[in-house]
Amino acid sequence: MCIRDRCNTTVKINSNTQLNVVWDLRLFDYKDTIEEITDQAKNEAKMEKNLNKIEEKWKDVQFELMPHKGSADIKILKMSDENFETLEEHQVIIQNMFASKFLAYFETTVVKWQKWLAAIFEVIQLLGDVQKSWSFLENLFIYSEEVKKELP
């Protein structure tokens, strides 16, 4: 709700409005209301800025192909440490938004980002688990002469 509605005023203020017109609006009688509205606007703007920052970051993040144990033939997928730290930071920011009383306007977007960031985190964890398993089994399947004899 805007100040005009809450203060029952219809005057439009622009760069040509004189101070006496503003004074005659008696906005000082609505101090608490105006503070509440501006506080809400300030917090919503901060939330919007954080959501835009999160969206801007994640639209271009890619996994890196890294050589496995110095091998040029075998690559592993990895997210940079910087991007992983940013992921954790953004998850905290999103979680804090759920505690905000100003969430209502952005709730759909915040829920979407909570799910997307959780999915990214889960993929990274699963990818790490699979690659650790491969590292463990690699010696058995690639370097073991006994296993090579048994496999077709």
Over the stretch 71-117, which tens digit does the pLDDT of each residue have? 777 788 889 999 999 999 999 999 999 999 999 999 999 999 999 99
Assessment of whether the complete model's pTM goes beyond 0.85: no
Whole-number Å distance between alpha carbons of 41 and 82: 32
Secondary element (H or E) of residue 121: helix 107-138
User: What is the C-alpha to C-alpha distance for residues 98 and 134, in angstroms, rounded to an integer?
Assistant: 39
Higher-confidence residue of 134 and 149: namely 134
Residue 76 forms beta bridges with which residues? 66
Q: Are 49 and 97 in contact (CB under 8 A)?
A: no
**103: Cβ contacts below 8 Å, ≥ 6 apart:** 47, 97, 110
Q: Tell me if 100 sits within 8 A of 43, measured CB to CB.
A: yes
**Mean pLDDT, the chain, integer:** 87
The confidence score (pLDDT) of residue 27 equals: 78
